[in-house]
Amino acid sequence: MKLVDAIKATHGELGIKKAMKFAEKKHEGQIRKFDKEPYVKHPKRVAEILRKYKNSKEVYKLVQAALLHDTIEDTPTSAKELKRKFGKLVASLVQELSSDKKDMVEKGGKRKYLAHKTQNMSSWGLVIKLADRLDNVSDFKTASPAFVKSYGKQTNYILDELEKNRKLSGTQKRLIADIRKKMAEVSK
């Protein structure tokens, strides 16, 4: 390993640890709806999914964004704060992954809003969003049948629209296939 690569790897690990601590602090006291686990376990799982699916020189930035992906939406965190602490790329990815409730109403509801939003996301943003969806559908085993049906329908609509309207990378295609596989397992 070259010195430059070693420095980047060390810098990446430090950035991931910093993002993990930040997410733990910001999500402190929050509990996931169905499994009743501390909420921060969700972004940690999303980050692990990313590590498994994405092989990139900049993967540590994606992992940081995955760890932080719900901070703007679900905690009192601003994009400005994230930019100051984690840099422009991570902050912009988290901002891109955050839902805008006003836009959601204007687009005709969450399903259409998310289908439109995912079609227009950056490639990296979409990979994180798909990893997030994969983790969410993995929670189906502890969710109510009504939620599974509703969320599954929403997810299928979003994935169908993506496959129909967007050029997808190999990583994105694998994530979509695994989301569909996970949902099929639950509906058996």
Identify the active-site residue in 48, 74, 81, 161. 74
Tens place of pLDDT per residue across the chain (188 aa): 554 454 455 557 888 999 999 999 999 999 998 788 999 999 999 999 999 998 877 789 999 999 999 999 999 999 999 999 999 999 999 999 998 877 777 777 888 889 989 999 999 999 999 999 999 999 888 888 898 999 999 999 999 999 999 999 999 999 999 999 999 987 76
Identify the active-site residue in 35, 48, 73, 81. 73
Q: Which two tokens stand for residue 129?
A: 């969003």
pLDDT value at residue 3 = 44
Report pTM. Answer: 0.91
Cα 44 from Cα 1, distance rounded (Å): 28
Whether 5 is catalytic is no
Length of the chain: 188
Whether 73 is catalytic is yes
Cα 99 from Cα 72, distance rounded (Å): 9
Domains and CATH numbers, the chain: 3-186 (1.10.3210.10)
Residue 54 identity (one-letter amino acid): K
Sign, CA torsion 33/137/16/73: negative
